A and B are shown apart, each in its own frame.
Chain A
């Protein structure tokens, strides 16, 4: 149980384009979903927290207009990187919890984004 999928696993795009990443909880309802980013040789850094049906809460330094998060259902959250630039190239990974954000987080396998 507690499986989270993420799509795509890898994406390469041109600078200036937008990229959408999907995160789905397959066998449970995810009240809260999280988006993390990992740069090379660094730890996972929380970008934002989203609860179904409400606006995401962004961490300090994360531009909400650049990283659009939608959590329209209890099983799906999307992260859209708008007008991507090479500095946005990173590993993006989502997680989900069944409770109110204090339970174990179940992670997707991540998405490697490369912006040319």
Chain B
């Protein structure tokens, strides 16, 4: 069974605070790890594609790290803003994308 787990399932953060959440995935047969941001009623937006152990990627206030040996990735958001409210999905790629259930992030003004 190929399981991708995200934690926490939901998160409320005060505006201006920083936060992070986790994606756990099988450490074998790893090709890539994808992060998406999915706002309600919109299309999931690709944030990062990570392929190498130790990868760190950054896009504005959002960054991600990757540990393929232990099978986890962290997504960090620095100085949260209301527009960061969304569900953040990770997907582990073997022969296909296997998605986690997402972390639903709400930023309180």
Binding site for B on A (CB under 8 A): 4, 34, 41-46, 49, 59, 93, 102, 104-110
Convert B1-45 into 0s and 1s, putting 1 for each residue whose CB lies closer than 8 angstroms to a CB of A.
000100000000000000000000000000110101000011110
Give the CA-CA distance A45 to B89 in the complex, in Å: 13
Contacts of A106 in B (CB 8 A): 43, 46
Give the CA-CA distance A104 to B42 in the complex, in Å: 17
Give the CA-CA distance A102 to B43 in the complex, in Å: 19
From A43, A46, A108, A110, give the contact of B96 (CB < 8 A).
A46
Q: A42-B101, A44-B89 are in contact. Are A109 and B42 (CB under 8 A)?
A: yes
Give the B interface residue count (CB, 8 A): 21
Contacts of B98 in A (CB 8 A): 46
Binding site for A on B (CB under 8 A): 4, 31-32, 34, 36, 41-44, 46, 49, 89, 91, 93, 96-102
A43 contacts B100, C-beta separation under 8 Å:
yes
Q: Chain A binding site: helix, strand, loop or mixed by DSSP?
A: loop
